[in-house]
Every structure is written in structure tokens, then in C-alpha cells.
Structure 1
Amino acid sequence: MSLVGKKAPLVNAPAVINGEEIQENFSLDQYLGNKYVVFFFYPKDFTFVCPTEIHAFQEKLAEFEKLDVAVVGCSCDTEETHLAWLNVPKDQGGIQGVNYPLVADAAKTVASNFGVLAGEWDYNEEGELEFAGAPVSYRGTFLIDKEGVVRQATVNDLPLGRNVDETLRLVKALQHTEKHGEVCPANWDEGKDAMQATRDGVADYLSKH
């Protein structure tokens, strides 16, 4: 069930902020009215595709911040595991140098509420509660506006790394529509023509492209 167009689920969990400090009750509510949020999930600390994505967001962080966007990562690891990984140098497979918040969803409630948990609790034939599937999150990415509403969401399977440039493009597209009242056609990017959401607007755009 898509979260697009709905209020983002509550986030209240520990997080590591500034790459070194544990905050016990981290919430996305701190950004309401002030910033857009790119909230992304990755499967697990100390893995292989995940650090490439985490560093890719860090490399583009200044561009996101210029657009009034807070970048926040999340996995089902503990805050202590996040902190340990943040102390491993990049050239050794670590994420040292990353300074945006990383939420620790050890209870798996945040991933579950956002619909990206790659498994679920269920009862076996003996009536015992067990976890079926992978106890990690898929690679979900959620673009949340300043009112706390999810405006865009994508979910990748575990082996498929995401495109951070595409996330940045979607932020720009959302802000363009909010500022100009236009809609963004296929393959729109900053500086390209958008169009009015009318039959004449579509016809005019198609006639020029």
C-alpha cells in the first residue's frame, strides 16, 4: 500500500547524528515546516552495496542542503553498530565521514510502518512466533515535503543500489511544481521545459518536443 500522498509514519528511534553522537529519541517531526526530507532505508551495516549508497548521499549532501533538504538514513541495526561502522575508514569499507543522521530501527517498527521490511513475524506450526524472511529493510527512498507528506517513494530489492542523482532530480521536480504550478513531463530535469496541466498545455509542450 503506497504512502504517497499520506502523512509519513511516525519515527521515534535512536539515531547517530553528526557521525559521532547518539540521540535517543530522534524524530522526523523536527523538520516539519522547515525542511524537506529524503528518508532512505538500507539493508544492513557492514555490507557491500550499502556503503556505496551512504557515501553517494554524503557526496551530494551540500546540494540537498542548498535545496532545504535533510537527508536521513535508516536500517534495522542498533545505534552502537551504526557508530562502530562510522568509525571504519572509507577505504576499509566503512562510512567514516558521513555526518547526516542514521536512524537505528532495531525493533523494525519504522521499516514495517514504511512498508519496506523484507519479512514479518508469524507463527509456525508449533505455535511459536518466528521471523519469516529477511530481518532487514529493502532499499526504500521517501521524499517528504515540509508538511510531512510523502510525495515520492521508490523501493528497490536488496541487490539493487539506488541512483542518488535521480533522488536529487525528484526533489527539484517537486520544488518546481510547488513554485511554478506546472507539472514535470517525462525525463524533466532542472532547466528544461515543464508544462501546464491542461489539454492545451500538453499539446503545446508536445508540439515543441
Structure 2
Amino acid sequence: MSLINRKAPVFSAPAVINGDEIVENFSLTQYLGKKYVVFFFYPKDFTFVCPTEILAFQEKLAEFEKRDAVVIGCSTDTEETHLAWLSTPKQNGGIQGVTYPIVADTAKTIATNYGVLAGDYTYDEEGNFAFEGAPVAFRGTFLIDKAGVVQHCVINNLPLGRNIDEAIRMVDALRHVEEKGEVCPANWSEGKEAMQATRDGVATYLSNN
């Protein structure tokens, strides 16, 4: 079931914040009424595609912050593994310098509730508990508004890295809709003309483009 236009699943889990501090009860609820949240999942620490995405989010962190948005990462690794990776220099395959929170979903419940776990729990022929697929998260990205409602999500398969600029564009689009009461057409970006959500508004937009 899609989470679009639904409350983002609530959780409390360990996380590493500021790149060097473990907190035990991290939650997105601290941002309710205050910030937009870009909450993204990645498969695994100490891998290849994942650090390119994580570091790319860090490089654009100021762009999110000036839009009143926070970036939060999450994988099924432990908080200790997160901390070790955050302490490893980039030239050695690490993500040192990343300052936004990274959540540890070791129970895989957060990934399950957000619909991004890359497998399913099941039973084998002998009735033993088993897992089919990969016990890691797909590359899911969720844009959550200040009321805690999911407004946008995109989920990539494990080999497919995401576009960070598109995440920024979607924050811009959400803010524009909320502030201007207009809707955003295909390929819209900040500064381009939007549309009134009426038949006349659509006609006006089409006549000007």
C-alpha cells in the first residue's frame, strides 16, 4: 500500500548524529510542525553505490537546509557500523564528513513499514522461519511535510542510484504548492510558471507555453 498522503510511520531507533555521536531514541517526530523531512533508505554500509548517494546528499545539504528541510538516512546496519563508516576517510571508502543523522534499522521494522525491505519473511518446507530476497532496504526516498504526511516517494532497485537534484526539486514543488496554491506541471522547477488547479488555469498555462 502506498504511503502517499498518509502519515509517515513513526519509529524510535538508534542513530548516529553529527557524524560522531550515537543517540538511542531518534525519531522523526521531533521535526513535526518545524521542518520538511527527506528520509532516505540505502542498502548497506561499506558498499559502492551507497557512499556516492550519501556523500551527494551531504554536498547538497545546504540546499535542503535553506528550503527548511532536513535530510535523514537509514539502513539496516547497526549504529556501531554507521559510526565506523562515518569515521572512515573518503579515500578509504568511508563517508567521513557526513553530518546529517543516519538511523540504524537493525530490526528491519522501519524498512518494512515504509515498504522498502528487499525481501519477505516466510517459512520453509519444514516450517522453519526463513527470509526470501535480500534483508536490506531498497533505495527509497520519502518527502514528508511539516504535518508528518508523505507527499512524495520514489523507490529504486538496489543497483540504481538516485538523483539528489530531483529530491531538491520535489521539496521546491511541495513548498510552491503550499505557498502559492498552484500545481506543478511536468518538468517544473523553481522559477518556472506553475498552474492554477482549475480548467481556466490549465488553459492559460497551455496558451503561454
TM-score by length of 1: 0.99
Superposed, which structure 2 residues align to 1:5-16 within 5 Å? Answer: 5-16=5-16
Q: Quote the residue 1:26 is aligned against.
A: 26
CA drift of 1:155 comes to 0.2
Q: Quote the residue 2:64 is aligned against.
A: 64
Q: Quote the residue 1:115 is aligned against.
A: 115
1:203 aligns with 2:176: no
Q: Quote the residue 1:156 is aligned against.
A: 156
1:168 aligns with 2:207: no
CA drift of 1:77 comes to 0.2
What is the distance in 1 between the residues matched to 2:39 and 2:59? 16
CA drift of 1:94 comes to 0.7
> Structure 2 counterpart of 1:120, which letter?
D
- Identity over aligned pairs, percent: 73
> Structure 1 counterpart of 2:200, which letter?
D
What is the distance in 1 between the residues matched to 2:65 and 2:199? 36
TM-score by length of 2: 0.99
**Number of aligned residue pairs:** 209
Partner SS state of residue 151, structure 2: strand
CA drift of 1:132 comes to 1.0
What is the distance in 1 between the residues matched to 2:24 and 2:64? 25
CA drift of 1:201 comes to 0.7
What is the distance in 2 between the residues matched to 1:90 and 1:198? 50
Q: Which runs of 4+ in 1 moved over 3 A?
A: none
Instruction: Quote the RMSD (CA, aligned, Å).
Output: 0.5
Q: Quote the residue 1:140 is aligned against.
A: 140
CA drift of 1:36 comes to 0.6
Q: Quote the residue 1:185 is aligned against.
A: 185
CA drift of 1:91 comes to 1.5
Structure 1 residues not aligned, in runs of 5+:
none
> Structure 2 counterpart of 1:197, which letter?
A
CA drift of 1:13 comes to 0.6
What is the distance in 1 between the residues matched to 2:148 and 2:114? 14
What is the distance in 1 between the residues matched to 2:11 and 2:196? 36
Structure 2 residues not aligned, in runs of 5+:
none
